[in-house]
C-alpha cells in the first residue's frame, strides 16, 4: 500500500512538472510543430520537434541570418551592389528573374528573399558573401552548429530539394529566434505585404499570408516543395511578447497557416511575460580585509519571466545574499541568488554576482589601517 501511494505521489509530482502545453492536444495539422517564446527561448508546445524533415524555403532563415550578421558587423552594407552570376540566375523555383550580370543592392535582394522567397537572390547573396554557394553552405552549417541545431544539415542556401538537406522544427525555432532577437531590423523586410523592385517594374507580394491576416504578425518565412509539402516559421508579437510557431510538412498551404494560428493563439491566450524585480533595493555586501569595503550584487541572468497567465499575479521574488565576503573576491563571483516563484513553484533562479573584483589587503596595508584606526580613536 505504501509503495503504491509513493508511486502515485511520484507520478503526480512528475505530471505537475509537465508544461501545460503538453497536457493538451492542439488542432495542428502537420508532421511536426513547435511553439517557442522569443525572450526566454522556452518551448510552449511541440510535436515531433526533433524529427528531421525537409524545410524547403524556410532554409532561407539561415541565409538571411548570415546576411544580417554581416550587415550588423559592418562587413556588408544595404547599399552594396551585387552582380548576379549565371549560376544564381539558373535556380528556378521562386525568383525575381535576375539576369546574368544584373546588379541590385543588398537591400533589394534581401527584400526579395524575405517577401517572395527569391532563390536567385539567395544564391547571389551567398556568392557575394562567401565567394561561392558551397562556401556559404559551409558557413550555414557552421552557424547551425554554434546555435545547437543538432538535427540540421544544409546542402544549399535556398531549400530547393537536395539529398540530405534536413532540419527539424526545434532547429528552425532556434535560428528564427537568433534572427529576430539579435537582428530586429530584419522586421522591416519580413513585415512587407506588397512592394516593388526595379523602380516599380517588378511587384512583390508576401508568401506569408499571416502578415496581412493575423494580428501582430512579424514574419518570418514560408516554404513548400512537392516532397517537403508546406512549411512555415511564423512570428507574431502581442503585449510585448513575441512567439515563434514552426510548422513542417502540413498537407496544404491553408492548413499550414491555420495550424500556425492555432499555436500562436494558444501561446498568447495562455502565457505572459513579466520582469522579476526584487521587493527592495539589493544592498551591498561587506568584504572583510579587502581593498574596498563592499561589492554591489548584480543579476547574472535575464530577469524576464515567462509564466502561465493565471500565475503572473502571484509571482514572488526572494533575494538571498552572503552576509559578508572574505577577500579576495573575483568579479562575477556568485554571492547570492534571486529566486522567482509562483504558487509555490520555482520559475527561475538567477545568480547574483559581485560587480567588481576586490584584492585582499597585504599585511602592510592591514598594519597601516590598524595604525590609522588607533590614532583616530585616540
Q: Domain spans of the chain?
A: 23-270, 285-364
Q: What are the strands, taking DSSP E only, across 239-322?
A: 241-250, 271-275, 285-288, 294-295, 297-299, 304-308, 315-321
Among 54-58, 352-356, 371-375, name the one with the lowest average pLDDT: 371-375
Active-site residue (options: 30, 38, 57, 176): 57
Which three-class secondary structure state does DSSP give residue 115?
helix
pLDDT per residue as tens digits for the range 197-230: 998 899 999 999 999 999 999 999 999 999 999 9
The answer to whether the beta carbons of residues 54 and 162 sit under 8 Å apart is no
- 57 among known catalytic residues: yes
| Average pLDDT over every residue of 363-369 | 72
Domains 23-270 and 285-364 are alike in CATH topology: no
Distance between CA 286 and CA 36 in Å, rounded?
Answer: 41
Distances (CA, A) of 368 to 32, 371, 372, 373, 374: 70, 5, 6, 9, 10
Active-site residue (options: 60, 209, 221, 348): 60
> What's the whole-model pTM score?
0.86
Residue in 156, 70, 154 with CA at minimum distance from that of residue 110:
70
The answer to whether the beta carbons of residues 113 and 88 sit under 8 Å apart is no
**pLDDT at residue number 344:** 84
Q: What are the strands, taking DSSP E only, across 214-362?
A: 217-225, 229-238, 241-250, 271-275, 285-288, 294-295, 297-299, 304-308, 315-321, 325-326, 334-342, 345-354
**pLDDT at residue number 290:** 87
| Average pLDDT over every residue of 62-82 | 97
- 303 among known catalytic residues: no
Active-site residue (options: 117, 122, 168, 224): 117
Q: If one looks up domain 285-364 in CATH, what number appears?
A: 2.60.410.10
Q: Which CATH architecture has domain 23-270?
A: 3-Layer(aba) Sandwich (3.40)
**pLDDT at residue number 28:** 96
pLDDT per residue as tens digits for the range 237-291: 999 999 999 999 999 999 999 999 999 999 999 999 998 888 889 999 999 988 8
Which three-class secondary structure state does DSSP give residue 134?
helix
**pLDDT at residue number 343:** 84
Tell me which DSSP letter residue 157 carries.
Answer: S
Q: What cell does 297 get?
A: 550584487
Q: Give the number of other Cβ atoms within 10 Å of residue 372's Cβ.
A: 10
- 132 among known catalytic residues: no
pLDDT at 1 over 80: no
Amino acid at each position: 500500500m505504501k509503495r503504491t501511494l509513493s508511486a502515485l505521489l511520484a507520478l503526480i509530482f512528475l505530471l505537475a512538472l509537465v508544461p501545460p502545453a503538453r497536457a493538451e492536444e492542439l488542432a495542428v495539422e502537420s508532421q511536426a510543430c513547435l511553439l517557442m517564446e522569443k525572450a526566454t527561448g522556452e518551448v510552449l508546445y511541440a510535436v515531433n520537434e526533433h524529427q528531421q524533415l525537409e524545410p524547403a524555403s524556410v532554409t532561407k532563415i539561415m541565409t538571411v541570418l548570415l546576411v544580417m550578421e554581416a550587415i550588423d558587423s559592418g562587413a556588408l552594407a544595404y547599399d552594396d551592389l551585387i552582380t548576379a552570376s549565371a549560376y544564381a540566375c539558373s535556380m528556378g523555383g521562386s525568383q525575381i528573374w535576375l539576369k546574368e550580370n544584373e546588379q541590385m543592392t543588398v537591400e533589394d535582394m534581401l527584400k526579395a528573399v524575405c517577401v517572395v522567397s527569391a532563390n536567385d537572390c539567395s544564391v547571389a547573396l551567398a556568392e557575394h558573401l562567401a565567394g561561392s554557394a558551397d562556401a556559404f553552405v559551409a558557413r550555414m552549417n557552421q552557424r547551425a552548429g554554434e546555435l545547437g541545431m543538432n538535427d540540421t544539415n544544409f546542402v544549399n542556401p535556398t531549400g530547393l530539394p537536395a539529398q540530405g538537406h534536413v532540419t527539424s522544427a526545434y532547429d528552425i525555432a532556434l535560428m528564427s529566434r537568433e534572427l529576430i532577437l539579435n537582428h530586429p531590423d530584419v522586421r522591416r523586410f519580413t513585415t512587407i505585404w506588397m512592394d516593388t523592385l526595379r523602380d516599380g517594374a517588378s511587384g512583390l507580394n508576401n508568401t506569408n499570408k499571416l502578415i496581412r491576416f493575423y494580428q501582430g504578425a512579424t514574419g518570418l518565412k514560408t516554404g513548400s516543395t512537392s516532397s517537403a509539402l508546406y512549411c512555415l516559421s511564423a512570428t507574431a508579437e502581442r503585449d510585448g511578447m513575441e512567439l515563434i510557431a514552426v510548422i513542417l510538412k502540413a498537407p496544404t498551404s491553408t492548413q499550414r497557416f491555420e495550424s500556425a494560428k492555432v499555436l500562436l493563439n494558444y501561446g498568447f491566450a495562455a502565457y505572459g511575460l513579466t520582469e522579476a524585480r526584487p521587493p527592495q533595493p539589493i544592498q551591498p555586501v561587506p568584504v572583510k580585509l579587502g581593498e574596498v569595503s563592499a561589492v554591489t550584487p548584480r543579476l547574472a541572468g535575464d530577469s524576464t519571466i515567462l509564466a502561465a497567465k493565471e500565475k503572473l499575479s502571484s509571482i514572488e521574488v526572494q533575494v538571498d545574499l552572503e552576509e559578508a565576503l572574505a577577500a579576495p573576491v573575483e568579479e562575477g563571483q556568485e554571492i547570492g541568488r534571486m529566486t522567482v516563484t509562483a504558487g509555490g513553484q520555482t520559475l527561475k533562479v538567477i545568480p547574483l554576482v559581485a560587480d567588481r573584483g576586490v584584492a585582499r589587503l597585504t599585511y602592510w596595508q592591514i598594519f597601516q589601517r590598524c595604525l590609522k584606526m588607533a590614532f583616530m580613536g585616540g
